[in-house]
Amino acid sequence: MKKRIFSIFMIMVFAFAMISCGNKDDGNNNQEQTPSAGIYTPGTYEGKATGYGGDIIAKVELSANRIESITCIGENETNGIGSVAIEKLPTAMVEQQTVYVDAIAGATYSSKGVVDAVTAALTAAGVDVQSLQPTGTVPTAEPIPTEETMSADIVVIGAGGAGMTAALEATNAGRNVLIIEKQAMVGGNTIKATGGMNAAGTQLQKDEGVDDSVEVFIDDTMSGGNYVNNEELVRTLAERSADGVAWLESIGAPLKSLTFSGGASFKRMHAPEGGAAVGPYIVQALSQQLADKNVNILYNTAATEIVTTNGEVTGVIATGNNIKYTINCEAVILATGGFGANEEMVTKYNPDLAGFKTTNSPGIVGDGIRMAEAVGANVIDMEQIQVHPTVEQETSTLITESVRGQGAILVNKNGERFFNEMSTRDLVSKAIMQQEGGSAYLIFDQQVRDNLSAIETYVSADLVEEEDNLADLAEDIGVDPETLIKTVADWNDTVTNKSKDVFERTTGMDRAITVAPYYAIKVAPAIHHTMGGVQIDTQAQVLSKTGTAIPGLFAAGEVTGGVHGANRIGGNAVAEVVVFGRIAGQSASAYVQNH
Ligand code: ADP
C-alpha cells in the first residue's frame, strides 16, 4: 500500500515553503499582469527549493482558474528514485489541482523538494497555497472500477532486481508475464546498490590476471556467512555468477571495472566503469528491456495473497489504485525483497536492533515472506539481520563499501584507526559500535573521489566534509588535528612500503591518502539486509515445511533465505538477484510449459 506521510509532511512543507518563499528572488514573475476575474493571475511562475541532491526548480503555468502545467528540473536527484518524484508529482498536482499530493515513498527528500519548489512558484504568483487543500470533491474523469480480473502465465511480485530479472527471463522463454509492484517505481532496494556484483572466473578477471575460482568464491561466502549458509545454494551462486555477468552485458549492462569488496580474497566485485553505482545501472537496463518487450507492470499495486487450489498456485490477489485485482496464473515468482524496513518484524527476530535506522526502501516490509508462509512455505535464518557499517545517519544514505575498497580508512573520535576496514560487515559494524558515540569517520582523498563517481552523490547531498588539508578536516569533524595527521601518515607508510598493517588489512590498499582535497563522512551502522526468508532449492522452487516444492511457487532475491547465512558479503546481493532471478524465471517458465 502506498505510504501516506501526507499530513505531517505537508504541514512541515507548508511551514518551510512560507519561510523560503518570503524571498522574492525565488519567484520569477514574467507573465503579463492583466487583472483577472479568476482565482489566479495567469502567467508562468518559477520557484526553487532544495531536494535530495541539490536545487529543484519548478515552473508553474496558471490560467485564470487552473494550474495548467507544472514542470520540475532537479538534475542532481537520484536517477530512478528522486527522478520519479520529479516526473510524477507535477502530473499528480495538475490532475488534482493542488500541491497536497502524496509523496513518492522512498523519495521523501526529493518529493519534499518538488512540493516546496511548486509552493514557492505559487506563492510568487500570489496564490494562498493553503487554500488548495483538497476538499475531497476533485472530480475524476472516469468512474473507477473496484474489482478487476486479469490473467497471465506467470505473475512476478516485486519489481526489484530479482523480479525484473526473473520477468525478463520468463518473457524471453515465451511466457506471458505480469509484474506487480507496490511502489510507484521499479528498483526496490536493488536500485540503492552502490558496489557491484561478485563473480568468479569471468573474462574480466582473466584479462586482469586475477586468479579467482568458483571454489574460493564459495569459501569466502561460506566463511563470511559463518557457515550458516546453505552450501548448495552458495555453489549455484558461484557457479552461475560468471554467466550472470555475461548475461548483464548481453542486456546492455556490462560491468567492466573490477574491485575488492569486504570479505573477498580476490578482486571479484564487477562494477560499471567509472565507479558508477551498480543498482541504478542494472535497474535501468532491466526496465528498458522489459519496456522493449512490452511487459506489463502494475504500479502502486501490492500483492496481498497467493491463491492455491489443491495445493497448486493458481493466482494472486492484489490491491492498488482503488482496484482489487484477482489475477489468474499458473506460476508466481516472489521477489518482494526482505523485511529491513519493518521495524516490528526486525525487532521480533532481533530485539537488539530496536531504534536502528534502515537503508531499505519503504516497501521492503516482508510481504512476500508473510504471503509464502500463508501457503505453507518454510522460512529459515530469520534472525540473521545484517547491519551495514557505513551509513550516514541523518539521511540513512549507505556509503558504499567501495569507498574503503578504493582506499578510505575509518577513524574514531580520537582520530585513530581501530579496525580492519575491509573486514566483513558484521565485524566492522561491531567495531564501530564499540567506539565513542557508536560512530566513525571515513577519511579519504581526491584520488578516491576521482575513482568513484558514487561519491559525487554524497557530495551533492551535502554529506561530505571537504578541506584542503588534514588539519582543517580534523577541526571540522572535531578530532585532534595532530592525531589525524599521524594516523594518515602511518597508514600511508603501510601502503607505500607494503608493510603489514596493524589491523591486518590486506585489500583496498592501492593508494595512499595524499592528494588534496581531503574528505570525511560521518557514519554508523544501520539495518541493511535480511539474510533469512523463504526456503528455496537450487531451482528457486519454494519449499514447504515438509521440504517438498510448492507447485507453481518460485522465489528469488532477498525474500529468500540460505544464500548468505549469518552475514552477506558485499557484492553478493546483486549476484543473488541476477543468478537466482534468472533461475526463477527459467524454472517458472519450464513449470508452466510442462504443466
Ligand atoms: P531484490 O533485491 O530481492 O530484488 P528489492 O528490494 O530490490 O529486492 O525489490 C523488491 C521489490 O518488491 C520492491 O520494489 C518492493 O516495492 C516490491 N514489493 C514488496 N512487497 C510487495 C508487494 N506486496 N506487492 C508488490 N510489490 C512488492
pLDDT in tens, 504-525: 999 999 999 999 999 999 999 9
Rounded to whole angstroms, how far apart are CA atoms 452 and 534?
Answer: 35
Q: Exposed (0-12), middle (13-18) or buried (19+): which is 314, by Cβ within 10 Å?
A: middle
How is 554-565 classified by DSSP, letter by letter? EE-GGGEESSST
Q: Mutation test of ligand 1: which of 104, 156, 181, 531 has the most ligand atoms closer than 8 Å to its C-beta?
A: 181
- The pLDDT assigned to 21 comes to 34
Q: Is the pTM of this model over 0.75?
A: yes
Average pLDDT estimate for 347-376? 94
Residue 133's pLDDT is what? Answer: 75
Between 63-72, 245-254, 332-341, 474-483, the lowest mean confidence (pLDDT) is in 63-72
User: What pLDDT shows up at residue 226?
Assistant: 95
Q: Give me the helix-helix angle, 241-250 and 572-594, nearest 10°.
A: 80
The pLDDT score that the predictor gives to residue 107 is 83
Q: For residue 144, what pLDDT is reported?
A: 57
Where are the alpha helices (H) located in 1-142, listed in sequence order?
6-20, 82-96, 108-124
How far, in Å, is the centroid of ligand 1 from the Cα of 162?
Answer: 9
Q: What are the tens digits of pLDDT across the range 73-126?
A: 998 888 788 888 999 999 999 998 999 888 887 788 888 899 999 999 999 999
Rounded CA-CA distance 442/428 in Å is: 12
- pLDDT at residue 25, rounded to an integer: 33
Which tens digit of pLDDT belongs to each residue from 228-257? 999 999 999 999 999 999 999 999 999 999
**Amino acid at site 294:** N
Average pLDDT (396-414) is 94
Higher pLDDT, 194 or 281: 281
* Cβ contacts of 308-312, under 8 Å, gap ≥ 24: 308/375, 308/550, 308/552, 311/550, 311/551, 312/551, 312/552
**Ligand 1 mean position, distance from CA 531 (Å):** 15
Measure the CA–CA gap between 281 and 304, rounded to whole angstroms.
30
For 158-173, the pLDDT digits (tens) are: 999 999 999 999 999 9
- Which protein residue's CA is at the shortest distance from atom 13 of ligand 1? 188
Output the CA 186–ligand 1 centroid distance in Å.
8
pLDDT at residue 362 in the model = 84
Question: From the DSSP assignment, how many helices (H) and strands (E) are in the chain?
Answer: 18, 25
CA nearest neighbour of 93 among 128, 129, 125: 129
- Mean pLDDT score, 464-486: 98
- Split at pLDDT 50, 70, 90, the class of 2 is very low
Q: In what order do the strands lie in the sheet with 301-309?
A: 147-151, 323-328, 312-320, 301-309
Q: Which of 156, 182, 564, 568 is the pocket-test mutation for ligand 1 (most atoms within 8 Å of CB)?
A: 182
Q: Which of 459, 359, 360 shows the shortest CA–CA distance to 403?
A: 459
State how far the alpha carbon of 417 is from the alpha carbons of 306, 421, 430, 434, in Å: 50, 9, 14, 13
Place of cell 578536516: 473
State the DSSP code for 581.
H
Rounded average pLDDT over 271-295: 93
At residue 45, what are phi and psi to the nearest 5 degrees?
-125, 150
Q: Which of 268, 425, 449, 568 is catalytic?
A: 425
CA–CA separation, 588 and 552 (whole Å): 7
Residue 215: pLDDT band (50, 70, 90) is very high
Contact 349, 499 (CB under 8 A): no
β-pair partners for 398: 391
Provide the percentage of residues in the chain whose pLDDT is more than 90: 76
- The enclosing H or E element of 316 equals strand 312-320
- The Å distance, Cα 336 to ligand 1 centre, comes to 3
pLDDT at residue 13 is higher than 70: no
Nearest CA to ligand 1 atom 24: 302
Other residues' Cβ atoms within 10 Å of the Cβ of residue 368: 30
pLDDT band at 36 (very low <50, low <70, confident <90, very high): very low
* Cα separations in angstroms, 62 against 38, 118, 580: 10, 12, 50
CB atoms within 10 A of CB 38: 11
Average pLDDT over residues 306-328: 96
Confidence of residue 130 (pLDDT cuts 50, 70, 90): confident
Looking at per-residue pLDDT, the higher value among 437 and 277 belongs to 437
Cα–Cα distance between 52 and 61 in angstroms, integer? Answer: 25
Cα-to-chain-centroid distance, residue 94: 29
Which ligand 1 atom sits nearest the alpha carbon of residue 336? 12
Is the CB of residue 401 less than 8 Å from the CB of residue 261?
A: yes
pLDDT at 296 over 80: yes
Mean pLDDT, residues 47-76 taken together = 91
DSSP one-letter code for 544: B
* Ligand 1 atom closest to Cα of residue 162: 4
* Residue 262, pLDDT score: 78
Residues with CB under 6 A from ligand 1: 157-163, 180-183, 188-190, 302-303, 335-337, 361, 363-364, 367, 557-559, 577
Tell me how far the alpha carbon of residue 187 lies from the centroid of ligand 1, in angstroms. Answer: 8
| Cα–Cα distance measured from residue 60 to residue 68, given in angstroms and rounded to the nearest whole number | 8
Cell of 319: 490491491
* pLDDT number for residue 467: 98
Lowest model confidence (mean pLDDT) among 22-31, 132-141, 410-419, 475-484: 22-31
Indicate if 4 belongs to the active site.
no
- Cα 259 to averaged position of ligand 1 atoms, centre (Å): 28
Instruction: From 286, 321, 358, 364, give the residue whose CB has the most ligand 1 atoms within 8 Å, as the site to mutate.
Output: 364
At 581 the pLDDT is 98
DSSP H or E stretch at residue 518: strand 518-530
Mean pLDDT throughout 529-557? 98
Structure confidence at residue 78 (pLDDT): 82
Question: Which residue's CA is minimally distant from atom 20 of ligand 1?
Answer: 336
**Cell digits for 296?**
506489463
How many Å apart are CA 223 and CA 566, to the nearest integer?
Answer: 10
* pLDDT at residue 145 is higher than 80: no
Which among 82, 7, 17 has a CA at the least distance from the CA of 51? Answer: 82
Protein residue closest via CA to atom 3 of ligand 1: 557
The answer to whether the beta carbons of residues 551 and 544 sit under 8 Å apart is: no
Q: How far apart are the CA of 364 and the centre of ligand 1, in A?
A: 6
Cα separation of the two ends of the chain: 33
- By percentage, how much of the chain surpasses pLDDT 70? 92
CA nearest ligand 1 atom 19, residue = 336
What integer pLDDT is reported at residue 135 of this predicted model?
A: 58
Mean of all residue pLDDT scores within the chain: 90
For the cut 50, the answer to whether the pLDDT of residue 199 exceeds it is: yes
